[in-house]
Amino acid sequence: MHYLRISDAPIDVGEMYQQLVAPEYGGIDMFVGTVRQWTGKIETTKIEYSAYHSMAEKQLEKIAAPIEQQGGRVVVAHRTGQLVLSDIAVFVGVAAPHRAEAFKWCQYVIDTLKHEVPIWKKEYDTDKIRWGN
């Protein structure tokens, strides 16, 4: 069973990892996205994330479903609210019988999330505020 969460609550990697551990899996791939200070010459001080929660959860379900049908387990947690440098913004973990699927599916989930899930960042940079990328 997958575990998908979009909330203001801080993300505990250990807790997320525990959701992925099961005897049928031999490979667990995890991606942790954190708040970065520098993007080229732009310096970020904090990021505020907002979401269209109900739709975002539905979109995550759609991303996770085909992986689960193929025998994997998907865990996604995304923060909303104000985050400071190095805070965890997103956790994506996929457990699979073998490493090849775990790597492939984990990358698929984070890449698809970035295009298809209605979550937005408001980036507070030292020169100005930027919405999105």
Reduced 3-state DSSP string for the chain: CCEEEEECCCCCHHHHHHCCCCCCCCEEEEEEEECCCEECCEEEEEEEEEECHHHHHHHHHHHHHHHHHCCCEEEEEEECEEEECCCEEEEEEEEECCHHHHHHHHHHHHHHHHHHCCEEEEEEECCCEEECC
The reply on whether position 132 binds another protein by CB under 8 A is yes
| Total residues in contact with another protein, by rule CB under 8 A | 26
CB of 110 to another protein, least distance (A): 6
Per-residue mark of binding to another protein, 61-80 (x: CB under 8 A) = -----------------x--
The reply on whether position 97 binds another protein by CB under 8 A is no
The reply on whether position 13 binds another protein by CB under 8 A is no
CB of 66 to another protein, least distance (A): 17
The footprint of another protein (CB under 8 A) covers 33, 49-52, 54-56, 58, 78, 89-90, 110, 113-122, 131-133
